[in-house]
Amino acid sequence: MPLRVCSLTLDEIAFRADTFVVRATDLQDMGVPRRTIHQRCRPGGPWRALLPGVLLLRNGPPTRDDHRRAALLYAGDTALLTGLDALELAGLRRIPTVAGPVHLLIPSDRRRLGAGRVLAERTERLPDARGSRLLPVAPVARAALDFCRRCRERDTVRAILAEVVQSGRATPAELRSELDAGSGRGSALPRTVLREIADGVRSVAEAKARELLGRCRLPDPLWNPQLVDERGTHVATPDAWFDEVGLAWEIDSREFHFDAADYERTVERHTRMTAAGIIVVHSLPQTLRRRGAEVVEELRQAYAHAARRPRPPVIALPAR
């Protein structure tokens, strides 16, 4: 028999609210007595409080989405998820595990919120909501930079901003514009990383490779250019390209080889470059870290070898 806490069953209450996370005041508006709410939220009871005035209508462990919904209800209308919470909901894969306080954007005239489980950031530039009605989120570029301004780990900032660009969620110019429009506090690191990305770097491994090239005394390569043949047909997009001699450098990071299809595309790209007369050097990220001197020497030798033969007839178009 359905459980009733007033004239409505528990499922009917959840249906009206579209979720099992509700405000206590909304329950009262549905006819649930305040005393009943208090009793059911006692330790060991069938409900639990997630935030002041916000309840979960079950007593199992709350999910991250439960915490997100609770934070939004606690913050009030117009609040948006941002930071890692928004990025995870947008499908980004190279982000840290989402934990801790739920990161929100709220209007600048709203009182500052906390309760230890909400990071409410007041803003005069509240963006239009994306996502669903129950879990509205900030645009990806804004969410990424809201997190990166607070992050001190260079490689984490690199991974997030590179994925935003590589996945087509925002261009480097759009990210720079968003960064310029916001607070200058905490912007130095993301600004530095955006300069790398503007030069074509698209991953942490490539950024590390770029740092390693400082020891090589080789010309600066193009990063992630599109190579086309004399007819304008696409050949490949290598990670690094030494245009003077037609040498490609591939950083074979596992993060881009999730499945057989990714690996197959990598092999096909190598085959097309080889068929076009391009010399290709492959390096693993762990080799860059552990045996950087060997990688440098390999690149020097490959560059010298490439310089001794005719340059292949390909054209390099800079990364967009």
- Average the pLDDT over 307-312 and give the result: 95
Whole-number Cα distances in Å, 139 to 89, 126, 285: 11, 10, 31
For residues 51-78, one letter each, b for 16 or more C-beta atoms within 10 angstroms of the residue's C-beta and e for the rest, the string is beebbbbeeeebeeebbbbbbbbbbeee
Q: In terms of pLDDT, which residue wins out, 88 or 216?
A: 88
- Residue 107: the pLDDT is 93
Which of 28-37, 139-148, 253-262 has the weakest average pLDDT? 253-262
- Residue 6: the pLDDT is 54
Is pLDDT at 170 greater than 60 in this prediction? yes
- Average the pLDDT over 136-164 and give the result: 96
- Residue 5: the pLDDT is 54
> What digits encode the pLDDT tens for the residues 232-291?
999 999 999 999 999 999 987 655 444 556 677 778 888 999 999 999 999 998 998 899
Q: How far apart are the first and last CA of the chain?
A: 61
Which of 29-43, 54-68, 188-202 has the weakest average pLDDT? 29-43
- Tokens 């206590």 sit at which residue? 24
**Mean per-residue pLDDT over the chain, rounded:** 88
CB of 47 closer than 8 Å to CB of 56: yes
Q: What tokens were used for 316? A: 């390099």
SS3 state at 302? helix
Residue type, 275: A
Q: pLDDT band at residue 188, thresholds of 50, 70 and 90?
A: very high
What is the C-alpha separation between 104 and 113, in angstroms, rounded?
Answer: 10
- Residue 7: the pLDDT is 56
Whole-number Cα distances in Å, 231 to 84, 234, 236: 44, 9, 14
- Ordered by start, the domain boundaries in the chain are 10-62, 66-198, 215-317
Is pLDDT at 206 greater than 50 in this prediction? yes
Question: What's the CA dihedral at 238, 243, 246, 250 to 10 degrees?
Answer: -20
